[in-house]
Amino acid sequence: MTPTFRGAAAFILVAAAVTAYSSIFTVTERGRALVVRFGEILRIVDDPGLNFKIPFVDEVVAIDKRLVFLENQNKSVQVIDSRRYLVDAITMYRVVDSRKFREAVQANFDVADRRIGARVDAALRETYGKRTFQAALSEERAAMMREIRDQVRSETKELGVELTDVRIRRTDLPQDVLEQTYSRMQAERKAEAEQIRAIGNQQALTLMAKADRDYTVTLAESQRDGEIARGQGDAERNRIFAEVFQQDPEFFAFYRSMKAYEAALKGSDTTYVLRPDSQFFGYFNSETAAPAAPAQ
């Protein structure tokens, strides 16, 4: 074998390999392939597997057929009462018509994203523009997502794209409204705090007032019971005295008077001006004088 022959053999081998390699292509589960010859779409391969093409002439364009999504971020939309929301929307779509997709957006997902995004944007504004602030925030959210999807879906058909879903990811307040919201929340909490304090105060005062009332009532009741007991004592005393003194009322009067004089008049600061002819001094002037005797 001469070096020339070897070189030629090697060249042929390599050329054959390159030709073979460029005449086959695989389509995977992830996508489809367009076989393009001089810019014209010859055929579309939908199913995964091994396929053949004319080497160096046919070009293969792969198109992902999986679900993809794009985000519309921070779109300022206005609702009926001219208040504003900041909205993020997510659009899910997949390519269903590869030919249209190639023709409309050159099989370029970035271009497709821009076109679809612009339409979602417009649909967002329109859909929010029909709602009130509150409805857009909560109860009609699901309906709005369907509405946007249906609106954009018909428009994106021409791109060879099927719109699976549009989801509203965020519905937020613009910065200035956000601050208002914060101060409103603060004011609400402060009011709540004041209310709690007021209720606490009221409860405390009520408790104390009731305690004072109970105190007064309890004392009054005990006083009442005390008076009753004293009354009973007095009654008993009267009964005892009456029983005993009944035996001789006249003597009792005398006896009690004597005791009373003794108790009432005893004391050194009293000055008595006496006449010696009083009964007590019956024997003061004469040893036979009439004896001093109490009445009777």
Partner 1 sequence: MPWNKEGGGGNQGPGGQGPWGQGPRGPLGGNRGPNPPDLEELIRRFQETLKNFLPSGGKAGWLLPLVLLGAFWLYNAIYTVQADELGVVLRLGKYDRTTNPGLHYILWPAETVETPKALSENIMTFGISGDSRDPNAEGLMLAGDQNIVDIEFTVLWRISDPRAYLFNVQNPEELLRVVAESAMREYVGRSRAEEVRTRGREAAQVAVQKLIQDTLVAYRAGISITGVQLNKAEPPEPVMDAFAEVNRAQQDSASQVNKATQYAFQRQGQANGEAAKIRQDADGYKGRIVAEAQGEAQRFSAVYDQYKNAKAVTRRRLYIETIESILGGSKKVIIEQGAGGPGVIPYLPLPELSPSASKGAPQ
Q: Which of residues 143-182 bind partner 1 (CB under 8 A)?
A: 164-165, 167-173, 178, 181-182
Q: Dihedral of the CA atoms 182, 180, 142, 112 (nearest 10)?
A: -110
Q: CA angle 178-179-185, nearest 5°?
A: 90
User: For partner 1, which residue of 44, 60, 96, 122 counts as binding (CB under 8 A)?
Assistant: 60
- C-alpha 93/C-alpha 218 separation (Å) is 83
What residues numbered 264-293 form the site for partner 1, per CB under 8 A? Answer: 265-280, 291-293
What residues numbered 112-131 form the site for partner 1, per CB under 8 A? Answer: none
- C-alpha 120/C-alpha 77 separation (Å) is 12
Q: Name beta bridge partners: 98.
A: none
Query: Contact between 197 and partner 1 (CB under 8 A)?
Result: yes
The minimum distance between CB 66 and partner 1, in angstroms, equals 4
Applying CB under 8 A, the span of 98-106, 120-128, 150-158, 186-194 interacting with partner 1 comes to 186-194
User: For partner 1, which residue of 42, 233, 253, 289 counts as binding (CB under 8 A)?
Assistant: 233
Applying CB under 8 A, the span of 36-44, 106-114, 123-131, 151-159 interacting with partner 1 comes to 106-114
The minimum distance between CB 293 and partner 1, in angstroms, equals 6
Are the beta carbons of 77 and 125 closer than 8 angstroms? yes
Applying CB under 8 A, the span of 6-14, 96-104, 115-123, 147-155 interacting with partner 1 comes to 6-14
Closest by CA to 294, choosing from 262, 263, 265, 251, is 251
Q: Which two tokens stand for residue 27?
A: 């389509």
Using CB under 8 A as the binding criterion, the count of chain residues that bind partner 1 stands at: 128
Hey, what amino acid is at 118?
A
Are the beta carbons of 72 and 117 closer than 8 angstroms? yes
Q: 10 vs 118, which CB is nearer to partner 1?
A: 10
Q: 158 vs 172, which CB is nearer to partner 1?
A: 172
Query: Contact between 205 and partner 1 (CB under 8 A)?
Result: yes
Are the beta carbons of 160 and 99 closer than 8 angstroms? yes
